[in-house]
A and B are shown apart, each in its own frame.
Chain A
């Protein structure tokens, strides 16, 4: 049950590529960062439980939503870091919020909604358990490294000071007392232990982060139930959008037929009637009308052809998305290069959705980007049709800037497809789409 939302997170929060060495060096400090996150989280948790204890009073009910939201914001920091630093991916598990309604009723509704969301209580559970658990998982490597560094400091001079002022302390099993600085064996042992701690910390760092990530997903991620609820919400949204879109499309086709081919056929019928009438009396006039009727039929055909092209382009039907996009590129005002690496054809509905998405993105590029060249790359990887459209324009495109990208995103959303836009000011603009789909068996060429 990988929801469309799951993929969304994967694309929008891609983990930066790091070498193994970088991972090992960075992991301990990231672990410590998780440990430090616990401090504000604990404070927020304390506030939360205080509010909960007041719930029998009106004040508690009033404060509860804000406390929950505060807690969620706190824990989102964990989620985004776990997504960034570990192999685990965590979604926000929260049930959708009802529309904000004014007045007491709305407030009560919101309160009930939040207090019955299991994720709210799981969040609190996290705040209570994590400060302990993090010490034995994510923060452990960092602590080891710090302890190792402290060992060096002890061996270098702090050990002497402690002994000098008559203090007594332990570094692991090594007793630090008067004369520590003259006892070579104790100093060597200190150095050995310190180095071992640092080595161990660096070694287990990434592993511990991943263990922590799994623990994080266990508590902070959606449960099976909330995952289903999120999935249902996604499907409901995309279904109604799909229905709206196809209804609008049907209306457009109806209008085009009504104003175009149908009107021409009516005109032709009238001309033919007139010709029938004129045939004996005025053959010359009849001939002129005949020529007009033929022109009308040619125009009707032309319009029907354009209409069909808009519904389902012939090359798409014949050859599939790769060649259809190539055909699109040939007719495009910009220079478009198409690279297609698809072993066979995706399912027809996905193919069609992807085609029209590319078509619209290319139209956008011609209209808004100021680009001279566009590259389209189509490939099939990990059960996904992946399409990248790159232009060398001035960039700065946004999803909501009237570019129609939001509409494309919605339409491919019907197929659990996602769209990511990368368009820094100054360009280039890269639009990436991913549509999960199965490929048909390779088409056998007619022989």
Chain B
């Protein structure tokens, strides 16, 4: 699997490169600024890109802008955005086109190599990987919305995990319940929120995110 990495701190960039290489990713390019990121994305058309939000030369949200621009030109190009901070505003912008293949995680999540690599794979496969912090804030800002307040605490928990982009199996493992129980919870959630039921994991996640993003 070919991956483009954009990170301006050399130490972290090398860390990402070696981490992904040990997990059988092929590094197509590792760049340290916004303009060369966009060029690398369009030249290499990687299977997935791991991008830091803040990049030189302007040290603003240059990485995010380059990723969004690349996705405008190549719809659905999988991008995992890393940041010191997660902002609902940026999450919304990344999710706005509704095509999936999007990740938005805090940089600390890299500490847990297995989870991180899993997130990269999920994004590469067209899924989503949203940071728990984004999702919990997204759910919190939706509490005035009555259908969500009708969910049971367990259902809310499942909703949050689902919105992070996890599959039923992963949710079941996380909550230490059977997969069937999770399926039941998700069915309840979809009925309560009045969302169309779909068997496809990715489409299901996108439906939930779109709902929360309204």
Does chain A bind chain B?
yes
Q: Give the contact-size bracket for chain A.
A: 20 to 34
CB distance from A294 to the nearest CB of B (A): 7
Asked whether A326 and B89 contact (CB < 8 A) given A294-B111, A446-B62, the answer is yes
Contact between chains at A331 and B65 (CB < 8 Å): no
- B85 at interface by CB-CB < 8 Å: yes
Q: Count of chain B residues with Cβ under 8 Å from any Cβ of A? A: 25
Contact between chains at A309 and B85 (CB < 8 Å): yes
Residues of B within 8 A of A331 (CB): 88, 137, 141
**Chain A residue at smallest Cβ distance from B89:** A327
Cβ-neighbour of B144 out of A308, A309, A335 (below 8 A)? A335
CB distance from A306 to the nearest CB of B (A): 10
Q: CB-defined interface of A307-344 with B at 8 Å, one 1/0 digit per residue?
A: 01100001101110001001100111101000000000
Contact between chains at A317 and B141 (CB < 8 Å): no
Cβ-neighbour of A318 out of B54, B69, B144 (below 8 A)? B54
Most buried by A among B61, B89, B141: B89
- B58 at interface by CB-CB < 8 Å: yes
Q: CB-defined interface of B44-75 with A at 8 Å, one 1/0 digit per residue?
A: 00000000011000101110011001000000
Residues of A within 8 A of B111 (CB): 294, 297-298
Contact between chains at B34 and A446 (CB < 8 Å): yes
Query: With the chains together, A305 CA to B88 CA distance in Å?
Result: 15
| Dominant secondary structure of chain A at its interface with chain B | helix
* Contact sample, A vs B, 11 pairs, CB 8 Å cutoff: A305-B85, A314-B54, A314-B85, A315-B90, A318-B61, A319-B61, A331-B137, A445-B65, A446-B35, A446-B66, A447-B38
Asked whether A298 and B89 contact (CB < 8 A) given A446-B38, A446-B65, the answer is no
Query: With the chains together, A332 CA to B111 CA distance in Å?
Result: 30
Contact between chains at A298 and B141 (CB < 8 Å): no
Q: CB-defined interface of B69-96 with A at 8 Å, one 1/0 digit per residue?
A: 1000000000000011101111010000
Most buried by B among A331, A332, A446: A446
- B108 at interface by CB-CB < 8 Å: yes
Measuring CB to CB, which residues of chain B are less than 8 angstroms from any residue of chain A? 34-35, 38, 53-54, 58, 60-62, 65-66, 69, 83-85, 87-90, 92, 108, 111, 137, 141, 144
Known: A309-B85, A314-B87, A333-B144. 6 other contacts (CB 8 A): A301-B108, A305-B84, A317-B60, A318-B54, A331-B88, A445-B65
Residues of A within 8 A of B84 (CB): 305, 314
Contact between chains at B89 and A315 (CB < 8 Å): yes
Query: With the chains together, A331 CA to B138 CA distance in Å?
Result: 8
Residues of A within 8 A of B38 (CB): 446-447
Measuring CB to CB, which residues of chain A are less than 8 angstroms from any residue of chain B? 294, 297-298, 301, 305, 308-309, 314-315, 317-319, 323, 326-327, 330-333, 335, 445-447
Residues of B within 8 A of A327 (CB): 87-89
Query: With the chains together, A318 CA to B81 CA distance in Å?
Result: 15
Contact between chains at B60 and A330 (CB < 8 Å): no
Cβ-neighbour of B89 out of A305, A323, A445, A447 (below 8 A)? A323
**Chain A residue at smallest Cβ distance from B84:** A305
Residues of B within 8 A of A446 (CB): 34-35, 38, 58, 62, 65-66, 69
Query: With the chains together, A335 CA to B214 CA distance in Å?
Result: 12
Contact between chains at A319 and B60 (CB < 8 Å): yes
Query: With the chains together, A309 CA to B85 CA distance in Å?
Result: 9
Query: With the chains together, A370 CA to B87 CA distance in Å?
Result: 27
**Chain A residue at smallest Cβ distance from B62:** A446
